[in-house]
Amino acid sequence: MLMLVALAGVIFAVIIAIILNRPVKPQPPAFQPSANPYPHAIFANGIIESDQTSGENLNVFPEVSGPVVATYVTEGQTVHAGQPLFAIDNSVQLATTRQEGLQAKAALALLNELKAEPRRETLAVVASQLGQAQATLQTLARTRDKVIRSAALDPRSVSKEALDSAIDAASAAQAGVVVAQRQLSLTRAGAWIYDVQNQAAQYDALSHTYAAGQALLGKYLVKAPSDGVVMALNIPKGGYVSSLGAFDSYTEMNLPAVVLGPNAGTLAVRVYVDEILLAGLPHGATIQAQMSIRGANRQFALQFVRIQPYVTPKIELSNERQEQVDLRVLPVIFHFRTDPAFKLYPGEEVDVYIRQ
C-alpha cells in the first residue's frame, strides 16, 4: 500500500514538473509604443487643448457670487456668443435695482415739476391773494381818509390814538400789497435755475446708479463670450459659485464654472520640453514635430504655432503643487487637424517627437 502511494506521488510530481516547465508564449503588447519617426529628435510630453490664438481654453468665471438657480447648457453642447450658460440667484440685486429705478423716477418727477412751474392753480391763488391785499388796502385807505377828515373838521371827534391806528393800518395794507405783488412776480418766474440744476444733477446721479445696478443685475445671467463647445460644466444647480469659480470636492480646488473650446476642426497641443533639451530645440517656423496617441497606433503631424518664452516648473501635467524635484519645462504650442473618424479630447496626454 505504501508503495502505491509513493508511486502516485512520484507520478504527480512528474506531471506538475512537466506543466510548470512548459514554455509560455508571451502576450502581445496591449498597444504599440510610440516610436521616433526622425533620425534625431527631442521627446516631450504634451496635452491636447482647444486651438486658441492665446491662452489654453476659454475659462468662464462669473463676476458675481451666489447659488446657481439654473443651467441652460450641457457638456458637449455647441453654443453661440451671447447664449445663456447659467443663472445665479439675483433676488437681492433685483430688489436693489428696482429701488434705484424708483428713486431715479422720483427725481425725474421732481425735476419735471420744477421745470413746469408756475403751476396754474398756484398762480391763481397768488393772484387772488394780491387782489385780497388790494381790496384790504382800499378799505383801510378809505377808513384812514375818513378819520383824517373828521379830525380836520373837529379835532375832538377823533382821538390821537384812533388817528394813528388808521394811518398805520393803511400803511400796513400798502406793504401787504407790495408783498403780494412780489409774490406774484416770484411765482410767475417759476423755479430758480439753481434748484433746477441741482435736481437735474441728482436725477443724473440716480440714473447712473440705476444703470450700474442694471448692469450688475445682468451679470447674474452668465452668457457665452464667444462661439464654442462646452467642454466642462462644473456647477450643479443649487451649488455656490463665485468669481473664483466653483469648489470641486474631489480635487479640493476651485475650478472654472464653465470651460469652452472652439468648435473648429483643429486642436492644439501644448508640449513641455525639458530645459535640459532646450539647446537642441530648432528655431521658430523650422520646427517639425509628430504626435503619437497613447493606446492607439495613430500619429498626427503637428504644425508649429508659437513658443511661450517662459520656462516654468513642470506642474501642468500632474496638476501637483508640491514637487520633489524642480523640473522646469518650456511650453511649445502646435496645432493639428483632427480626423472625424478618430475622436480626440482636450486634456489627453500625448507623446511628441520634435525633429532636430
Per-residue pLDDT, 91: 94
What single string gives the DSSP state of each residue in 267-308? Answer: EEEEEEEEGGGGGGPPPGGG--EEEE-TTS--EEEEEEEEE-
Q: List helix spans (H) across 77-192.
A: 91-116, 120-153, 160-189
pTM of the model: 0.69
pLDDT tens digit sequence for 51-73: 877 666 789 999 999 999 999 99
Query: How far is it, in rounded angstroms, from Cα 92 to Cα 81?
Result: 27
pLDDT tens digit sequence for 95-150: 999 999 999 999 999 999 998 888 888 888 888 888 898 888 888 888 888 888 88
> Residue written as cell 452668465?
222
Question: Three-class SS of residue 5?
Answer: helix
The C-alpha R_g of the chain, in whole angstroms, comes to 46
- Report whether 206 contacts 107 (CB < 8 A): yes
Strands 84-88 and 78-79: unpaired
Per-residue pLDDT, 30: 63
